[in-house]
Amino acid sequence: MYDSALYEKFYRSIYLIRRTEEEIARIYPSDKIKSPVHLSIGQEAVSVGICEALQADDLVFGTYRSHALYLAKGGNLKEMFAELYGKASGCARGKGGSMHLINLAARVMGASAVVGSTIPNAVGYAYALQYRREKQIVVSVFGDGAPDEGVFHESMNFAALKGLPIIFVCENNFYAIHTHQRLRQPLDNICDRARSYGMPAERIENNDTFQIYEKIGAAAKALRNGEKGPFFFECMTYRWKEHVGPNEDYHLGYRTPEEAEPWIENDQVLKLAGLVEEERRSQIEAEVEAEIQAAIQFAEESPFPEAADLFTDVYKESLAQTSVLPAVQTPSSRKISYVEAIREATDQEMARDDSTIVFGLDVDDPKAIQGTTKGLLEKYGQERLFGTPLSEDAMTGAAIGMALAGLRPIHIHIRMDFLMLAMNQLVNVAAKSSYMYGGQVNIPLVVRSMIGKSWGQGAQHSQGLYSFFMHVPGLKVVAPTTPYDAKGCLIAAMRDENPVMYVEHRILHFQKGPVPENTYTVPPGKARITAFGNDVTLVGISFMQIECLRARAYLQEMDIEAEVIDPIWLSPLDMDTIVDSVGRTGKLCVVDNGWTTCGAGSEIVLRAIERLQGERQIQVCSLGFAPVTCPTTPSLENLFYPNGRTIAATAYELVKGEKGWLPEEREDLKDLEFKGPF
């Protein structure tokens, strides 16, 4: 059916995978390998069939059982062994291990230890290819457990909606760890799920290498010829070894040798060996054995990472920020709103860089996210600004894939609360990719989300959860207060090479202030003193900056001069400015837009104490949400949040040591009215 050269090529690939896995199984008990291994023995045919059907510049995204996919696509064997050994010469510089293999030159785009996580990343990369009119295709490979995950369905839906150039391959070995498919899924044909999203889907039985090759090849050709994707294949296969580790596991009782027997008898390594002339087969095997032994020697002789490498690759160095106006607001006769500042920043960057795209739920609707995206659809078109399905998890993963492909996505969430639906992608993928792939990739992603009170936003529409993201290395967090900072911080975030959480309080949307027309940045890591004083330091985060300025006015009635600081960027956090102020005043009150336990305010207080201990005796306190769920009724909601009067009372007690003072409310300092619901 095929010529001898192709049989030899297939055999070299599948024999390399089998023998590599057998050597890993042999070495594993010695403890030289420094990460869990999920072996592909028995499943090699799927990866070989896929990758032999692809072109060199096509891309693959895998799962934690990805040794076969990595090698079949041309990944470097020496670097793979070194990675398993935890060595600095590994494909991820020793920071990823077996479950996170990557080789950008071979277009192996990475793998994830969390089931289904790379599916939306592959979808996002495919969107970038379609946007740029490029001819490569993407293949997303995952196991039969992934269809149990919601992100599988969200990703299928979006890929079909956009007709993306992607092939989905479910490598079905029947078991999610130790649980058979029949105990997890009411339908035993995963293709039926894919078909429900309007894409062609086909099951390939019997672990047949050439059938997989032919089917994937036909789908790839169709996509290259301009046919709309995606395509879906379910490849039936079987793993011979335990879920993780080098051994058989029939003694556990969840499966039997009799179940495995027909798959072992249909061993594709032996089938392909029989198609290659004996002398040539011996030559191939000798070459592969030599290659494997050289790779093992390379891994054993390579050095472990240096101690300093623990702290490298957490963040990617960003491009030089141009037109920086950091600490002092430049006078401007033009005053615009916070909303207009966001819209202007987005418009200017989209005009400057056609890799900048904007998407999210309802970004293209008549309200245009309170006006922040108004007019951008008409100006830039639906490829660069589009609404999405209600799929926070998959769309965040798609944004990561777009960023991997070189786009600069802005993903907008009307509520920060909804980020809880995307935590896996934000925390396990966006934040960690640079580090766990040894600095080889970057995720230039901006995630806009809104927080805030009023109009009965209540328990699930008002939470300021930015401290969750401050906790995670690899993410940057910014919460600008003024229109000036709203524009400058957003431009800085869009030009950053790292994922940035951009937090905007909905009441601030109605603030107006001076904003230059030109493009400028307010880069990470610099706080601003918004009012000077010597008696107490008030640090207000986001809208609480406004409340701190109100508190300052109340305190002046009592001859107390408060210094007020806006951190602006919460990660990285400028503690130098805060510590310098507290070193002068001796008193610190931090007011947060979140709960105080494990909050941003608590972090600032702790760091100030650590920095000043032994140098200066200081008094501290932190204010934030009441330790309850946010109520909707105004009478209770008013008690839930700090305000200018309660902040002033707390600061007064710090300075005077006296309790009981609460200023009378001043009409000129009352809160702004929030015009809900959005």
DSSP conformational letter for 329: P
b/e sequence 153-190, b meaning 16+ C-beta within 10 Å: bbbbbbbbebbbbbbbbbbbbbbbeeeebeeebeeeeb
Q: Which residues, other chains included, contact 606 with Cβ-Cβ below 8 Å and sequence gap of 6+?
A: none
Catalytic one of 67, 100, 153, 461: 461
Q: Is residue 180 annotated as a catalytic residue, yes or no? A: no
Residue type at position 176: A
Task: Report helix angle 600-612 to 575-585, nearest 10.
Answer: 60
Task: Provide the edge-to-edge strand list for the sheet that holds 231-236.
Answer: 108-112, 59-63, 138-143, 166-172, 231-236, 201-204
Q: Rounded CA gap, 578 and 380, in Å?
A: 42
Contact 365, 332 (CB under 8 A): no
Residue ranges of alpha helices (H) inside 145-206 are 150-162, 190-195
Minimal CA–CA distance to 451: which of 374, 389, 508? 508
Q: Are strands 335-337 and 512-514 parallel, antiparallel or unpaired?
A: antiparallel
Q: Rounded CA gap, 639 and 643, in Å?
A: 9
Bridge partners, residue 383, by sequence: none
Q: Is residue 79 annotated as a catalytic residue, yes or no? A: no
Query: Residue 271: which H helix or E strand, with range?
Result: helix 268-273
Contact 58, 107 (CB under 8 A): yes
Catalytic one of 79, 149, 340, 392: 392
Contact 568, 522 (CB under 8 A): yes
Tokens encoding 463: 């939470």
**Residues annotated as part of the active site:** 392, 461
